[in-house]
Amino acid sequence: MPNRGKYPDELRERAVRMVLDHQHEYGSQWEAICSVAEKLGPKAETVRLWVRRAEVDQGRRPGATTEELAELKKLKRENAELRRANDILKAAASFFGAELDRQSKK
């Protein structure tokens, strides 16, 4: 999934790696997150979200992975497009059906 935030992917990956590699040196994961955030620049909550997403993607935490979310988004978009096409086809069928009825009554 492309990076849409203001931080480069390399910074995200480095922050997550630092938290996961050094959390045992702190009293809690949150302390490790705060320390890494202070060193690298983003807010602690931002780093926490990156860590949570990485944990889900690695299977350490339950939830939908980034790939699954991207696939779901793609399928929802495709479903909406198919519904629009279906509505257009229904309207066209109704229109042409009415035209045929008018022509057959003449």
Determine the 3-state secondary structure of 45 from DSSP. helix
pTM: 0.72
Q: DSSP letter string over 76-89? A: HHHHHHHHHHHHHH
Residue 106's pLDDT is 66
Residue 1's pLDDT is 47
Query: What secondary structure letter does DSSP report for 42?
Result: S
pLDDT, tens digit, 9 for 90 and up, residues 9-26: 999 999 999 999 999 999
How many Å apart are CA 97 and CA 80, to the nearest integer? Answer: 26
Under 8 Å CB-to-CB from 30, ≥6 apart: which residues? 44, 48
pLDDT, tens digit, 9 for 90 and up, residues 46-89: 999 999 999 999 999 999 999 999 999 999 999 999 999 999 99
63 in the Ramachandran plot: left (φ > 0), alpha (ψ -120 to 50) or beta? left
Residue 30's pLDDT is 97
How many Å apart are CA 21 and CA 15, to the nearest integer? Answer: 10
Indicate the CATH number of 1-63 among 1.10.3720.10, 1.10.10.10, 2.70.98.40, 1.20.1250.20: 1.10.10.10
